[in-house]
Amino acid sequence: MEIDEVKNIEAIKRLKDMCLRTLKPAGNKSGLYTAEIRVFDFLELASIIRNLIKLCIVALDQDGAEVPITIKNQSIDVGLILGIALQLFPIDEFELLN
């Protein structure tokens, strides 16, 4: 390899280490990756899961779906769901690709 090619490869590796951080290899499983979601505690995790399920119930039947009346808190915290989406959004990767 020429010196310029080696420098380019090294620069790409540095950029990869700095910017490609959203997905991490999942142990020894080839082709699988993990993404991290940060939560304060189990209560917040439970709230995220409940809101995702309620959102899915409504999304399945837009015409008449409602959260079942047996669920105490029927409101959907869309802000919480969007916060999770923002955590998973790979902004560093997009900066690198730009």
Give the tens place of pLDDT for each residue, 35-61.
888 899 999 999 899 888 888 877 777
- The string of DSSP letters for 20-47 reads --S-EE-TT-TT-EE-----SSHHHHHH
Model confidence over 1-29: pLDDT tens digits? 678 787 888 888 888 777 778 888 888 77
User: Which amino acid appears at position 33 of this protein?
Assistant: Y
Distances in Å between the Cα of 96 and the Cα atoms of 2, 14, 21, 32, 88 are 24, 11, 11, 22, 16
The verdict on pTM exceeding 0.85 is no
- Residue 74: pLDDT band (50, 70, 90) is confident
Q: How far apart are CA 79 and CA 35, in angstroms?
A: 20
Domain ranges of the chain: 3-97
